Amino acid sequence: MSVNRKVIITGGGTGGHVFPGIAVARELLKDPQAEVLFVGKKMGPETKWVLDAGLVFKGIRTSGFPRSLSLRLLTFWFDLGAGLMDAGRLVSEFKPSVVFSTGGYVSVPVSLVAALRGVPVALLEPNVAPGLAAKFLALFSKKVFVGFEETTLSFSKGRTQWTGIPVREEIKTADKTESLKNFKLDQETTTILMLGGSQGAHVLNQYMTDVIEQLGQGFHKVQIIMMTGWTDYQTIVDRLEKCPLKVVLRPFIANIHEAYAAADLVVGRSGAMTCAEILSRALPAVFIPYPHASGHQERNARALETAGSAVVITEKQLENEKLIQTLDEMLANPSQLKAMGEKASKLARPDATAKIVEVLFQLADQRRIA
C-alpha cells in the first residue's frame, strides 16, 4: 500500500517537547498509510529518546534566541540560517502532508519552511504560559493544541483546541503490583516518588535527602523511589546508607512508567510533561517549580494546585522546612491524598493523543486532495 499520510514531527530540547511527539508518532504509525519523520536538534537529547522509541530521526542545526546582548546573538542568526537550509532540504526530500510541532526553538525552522511551502502546521503548546517559539509559530499554524484549558485564551479562538498533553501509553497502563515488585518494594506501604529531574537538580536533591532522613525517624510508614541525576547520586547513596526506610535510588529512571505506577504521591518539578504524566496516573503531587525559564513551571503547578490535585512549594520555602511539614500533613491524612488523586483523575485528558492524531490526518488528507 502506498504511503499517503507523511507527517514530520519536530521539537526537542526537553522531555516536554519530545515525549508528546513520540506518543503521537506511535499513534500515527498504527495507520498503515502513515509515515513519520522526527526532526530535532543535531546532538540534542531528543536524538537518543527518539531513536530508542524506534522512530526515524533527522537532526538540524539550531539554537535558542538569546535573552540578553551577547555573542550568542550573532551565532543565533547563523544557526537559524543553517537550520532553515537543513529544514528546506528535509521538507523537499520527505514531502510531508502535515507538520506537527511540539514546540521549543528546535521546531521553528521546519515549521516555518513547511508553512511557507503550503504544508499545514499544527502546534502543541504544553505549558500554561506559551513561550516565544510557540507565540511565533502560532501565527502560521492551522491548528493549536494546548495542554491546559486556560491556555486557550492565549491563542486565536477559532484555531485552538484544548486536548491535553499526549502521554505515552505505557505510562497510563503500567501495573502497580508488578511495578512495586520490580522495584522490590512492599505492596502495603505508601510509596513516594521523588523526581529531581532527568539531569538532576542539586537544590531539590539536598532537601529531598534531608526529608528522607527525617521520614526515616519512623513517624510514617513510607518507602521512597528517588531519581537523583548522575552528579549527586553517589553522595546521596552514601548519606542514606543507614536510613531505615526502603529507598530505591537511581541516577536516571529508564522505566519511569513503572515508577509512576508504584507511586502513591509524587514530589518534583512541574514541567508540562511531568504534570500530564502525574494526572494520567491520578496521583497527588507536591510541586517545587523550577524558578527560572520565565516561570513556566510555576504557572503549570499553580493550575493543578487551584484544581486541588497538587500542593506548590517554592524553592525559597524549602529553607523553612516546608517540604517535610507538607509531607507530614499529607501522610497523616490519607483521605486528603485520595481526594487529591480523584481531582487529578478528573483533570487528565486520556484521549489527547487520539484527538491530535485525528486532526493531523484531517489536515494531511485535505492537503492530499487539494
Confidence (pLDDT) at 295 = 77
Work out how many domains the chain is built from and give that number: 2
pLDDT band at 370 (very low <50, low <70, confident <90, very high): low
Whether 20 and 81 map to the same domain: the answer is yes
Taking the model in full, what pTM does it have?
0.90
Whether 105 and 204 map to the same domain: the answer is no
- Strand 265-268 and strand 190-195: the pairing is parallel
Confidence (pLDDT) at 1 = 41
Whether 138 and 237 map to the same domain: the answer is no
Whether 117 and 185 map to the same domain: the answer is no
Whether 77 and 223 map to the same domain: the answer is no
Confidence (pLDDT) at 69 = 61
Confidence (pLDDT) at 72 = 66
Whether 187 and 216 map to the same domain: the answer is yes
Question: Where does the chain have alpha helices with state H?
Answer: 15-28, 46-52, 72-94, 108-116, 132-137, 169-173, 176-182, 202-215, 233-239, 256-262, 272-280, 296-307, 315-318, 322-331, 334-347, 352-369
Using one digit for the tens of pLDDT, what is the confidence trace for 44-100? 889 999 999 999 999 998 876 666 666 666 777 788 788 899 999 999 999 999 999
Confidence (pLDDT) at 9 = 98
Average pLDDT for 230-253: 94
Whether 180 and 323 map to the same domain: the answer is yes
Lowest mean pLDDT among 86-100, 167-181, 308-322: 308-322
CATH number for position 141: 3.40.50.2000
Residue 184 main-chain phi, psi, to 5 deg: 60, 45
Whether 358 and 276 map to the same domain: the answer is no
CB of 245 closer than 8 Å to CB of 269? no
Query: What separation, in Å, do the N-terminal and C-terminal C-alpha atoms of the chain show?
Result: 21
Whether 11 and 73 map to the same domain: the answer is yes
Whether 142 and 174 map to the same domain: the answer is no
Domain encompassing residue 332 = 170-347
Closest CA to 229 of 259, 257, 206: 206
Q: Give me 155's grid cell.
A: 491563542
